[in-house]
Amino acid sequence: MEKIYSLRAEIFKALSHPIRLKIVECVSIGEKGVGEIVKCVNAEASNVSRHLALLKKAGILSDRKEGLNIYYRLEIPCVMDFFSCVNKVVKTRLELNRDLLKKI
Amino acid sequence: MEKIYSLRAEIFKALSHPIRLKIVECVSIGEKGVGEIVKCVNAEASNVSRHLALLKKAGILSDRKEGLNIYYRLEIPCVMDFFSCVNKVVKTRLELNRDLLKKI
DNA sequence: TGACTAATTGGTAAAGTTATCAAATAGTAA
DNA sequence: TTACTATTTGATAACTTTACCAATTAGTCA
């Protein structure tokens, strides 16, 4: 039962990079080609490609080939539900920082 | 608007370790002292202490001192909602592996 | 065939994460 | 004060992740 925690942790790790979060958001609206995704996240293609491979390996995205193009899509849409909670944590942190700032 | 993605990514990073997931689960039922948490996750105290500090820094846990003891509690309970979705991803991955196994 | 485009992969250096053990802090109580 | 307990912190070595540029694969089409 130790292994199950490592598997779960891998999913979070897959989401623990700003570029990968942008990718997930970008394809959440619908399937997108790599070129589009590269524009969407504004990073180097080879870099984006590795992040895509990682998200796919984690089971969060799946891909489909069509001619020269490869299209990625969100395999598990429920990950989008994380974001409102994550924003809540971020907000709490920022408010905490603001309160600390007041005391200086 | 780039920074917001890094802040979000930090939350996921904080949850991307098996010990830290166990800690979150352990305190999700209610506030717990470090000693209890150490038993709960079955790891070295100094190691657990660092993971606790990291979760606190991320804004996921908060702490409270009482005499010699320090009690940690889940600051943002909505993170528990992640787990059913994460389990879904894990399950999909395991099923995929099982299907691959059949083909060998 | 060769030229072209889309995407991935190899190599690598810099940066970040983790576990471990020893040492330090801080609170309590004799 | 000393002794004791709970917890954190310092130092460090092994390991992992990342971005970058160059090279490669794979598909299309003239």
CATH number of A2-76: 1.10.10.10
Of B103 and A19, more confident: A19
Segment B53-103, tens digit of pLDDT: 999 999 999 999 999 999 999 999 999 999 999 998 898 888 877 877 776
* Pair B54, B99: CB distance under 8 Å: no
Q: Residue ranges per domain, chain B?
A: 3-76
pLDDT (0 to 100) of residue A60: 95
Alpha-carbon gap, residue B45 to B42, rounded angstroms:
9
Q: CA B34, C1' D30: Å apart? A: 71
Domain B3-76, classified CATH 1.10.1060.10, yes or no: no
- The gap between A45 CA and C1 C1' (Å) is 30
Using CB atoms, pick whichever of A7, A20, A85 lies closest to residue B76. A85
Given the structure tokens 């592996």, which residue do they identify?
Answer: B97
pLDDT value, residue A103 = 61
What are the distances in angstroms from CA A49 to CA A82, A103, B66, B92?
24, 45, 50, 23
Tens-digit pLDDT profile for residues A25-61: 999 999 999 999 999 999 999 999 999 999 999 999 9
Q: Report percent pLDDT > 70 for chain A.
A: 96
Show which of residues 52-71 on chain A sit within 8 Å of chain B, judged by CB atoms.
58-60
